[in-house]
């Protein structure tokens, strides 16, 4: 299963991604983590990103795509993945499509978690209040002020992906305002329907191939069947022909007729003269 979870900050993408990882045995591809791993491993792409990250600059899309490409080649990504933090823009989505096409892969679904922004702000405020009540420090990026800025950036850069993936019939929307359990259940239902549709399509595609293979087998075997049919026909007719031919050479059939004729005629002819002779002899005696 290859997925991309789409939604504004605070919509619950991270929570649902973790549940999907455990359920389907797939990996989460976080661009931030992949960049740090590539730098640590000193891969060619990682070395390019290292200086840019050190200066605080944004890593260009081509470098990010190169890191994703390397990551997809690892064995643990064979079962599937969830993209996290990428793509953020339509050009990045184009680049991702080209990468997956080269690797003969495809996204199974883009799941949008749709939420109400005012409800998100209230959710963040409540979370911040609960954190302070426990005596803990509130995260810098988990305040209403920061969320407002992140939401504005999402609307400008990332929200156009909704239209992009909708046009490609990849987008599936889930109400992110439901409880966590309800959201998980709805995503599971959607993915089960996708899996069933893919299995049906694969089965349907396999039927013409099997039919063509059978038809090809029939076509190639037709001359052989014709030859074998001719051989069987010859085998059936050859005994009678051989008997006729042998009969003509040896004269067995005429001899049988002659024998039967000789048996009948002499027997009948011989009996009649014998009776007449007996009658004459009786008259003479008398």
Q: How far apart are CA 258 and CA 252, in angstroms?
A: 10
Cβ proximity of 79 and 26 under 8 Å:
yes
Run of H or E including 276: helix 252-285
The catalytic site residues sit at 13, 88, 127, 139, 150
Token pair recorded at residue 245: 């031919």
Instruction: Say if residues 92 and 86 touch (Cβ distance below 8 Å).
Output: yes
Angle between helices 61-72 and 31-41 (to 10 degrees): 80
Q: What is the DSSP letter of 76?
A: G
DSSP assignment, residue 8?
-
CB 64, CB 86: distance < 8 Å: yes
């Amino acid at each position: 299963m290859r997925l991309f979870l789409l939604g504004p900050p605070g919509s619950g993408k991270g929570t649902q991604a973790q549940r999907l990882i455990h359920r389907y045995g797939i990996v989460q591809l976080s661009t931030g983590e992949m960049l740090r791993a590539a730098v640590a491993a000193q891969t060619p792409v990682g070395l390019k990103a290292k200086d840019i990250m050190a200066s605080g600059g944004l890593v260009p899309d081509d470098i990010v795509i190169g890191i994703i490409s390397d990551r997809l080649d690892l064995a643990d990504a064979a079962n599937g993945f969830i993209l996290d933090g990428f793509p953020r823009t339509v050009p990045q989505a184009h680049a991702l499509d080209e990468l997956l096409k080269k690797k003969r892969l495809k996204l199974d679904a883009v799941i949008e978690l749709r939420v109400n922004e005012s409800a998100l702000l209230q959710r963040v405020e409540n979370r911040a209040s609960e954190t302070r009540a426990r005596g803990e420090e509130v995260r810098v990026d988990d305040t209403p002020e920061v969320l407002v800025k992140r939401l504005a950036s999402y609307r400008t850069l990332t929200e156009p992906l909704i239209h992009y993936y909708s046009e490609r019939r990849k987008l599936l929307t889930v109400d992110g305002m439901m409880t966590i359990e309800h959201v998980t259940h709805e995503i599971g239902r959607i993915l089960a329907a996708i899996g069933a549709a893919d299995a049906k399509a694969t089965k349907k595609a396999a039927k013409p191939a099997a039919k063509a293979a059978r038809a090809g087998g029939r076509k190639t075997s037709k001359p052989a069947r014709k030859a074998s049919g001719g051989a069987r026909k010859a085998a059936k007719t050859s005994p009678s022909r051989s008997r006729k031919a042998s009969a003509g050479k040896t004269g067995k059939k005429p001899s049988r007729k002659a024998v039967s004729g000789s048996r009948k005629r002499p027997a009948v002819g011989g009996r009649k003269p014998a009776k007449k002779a007996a009658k004459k002899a009786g008259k003479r005696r008398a």
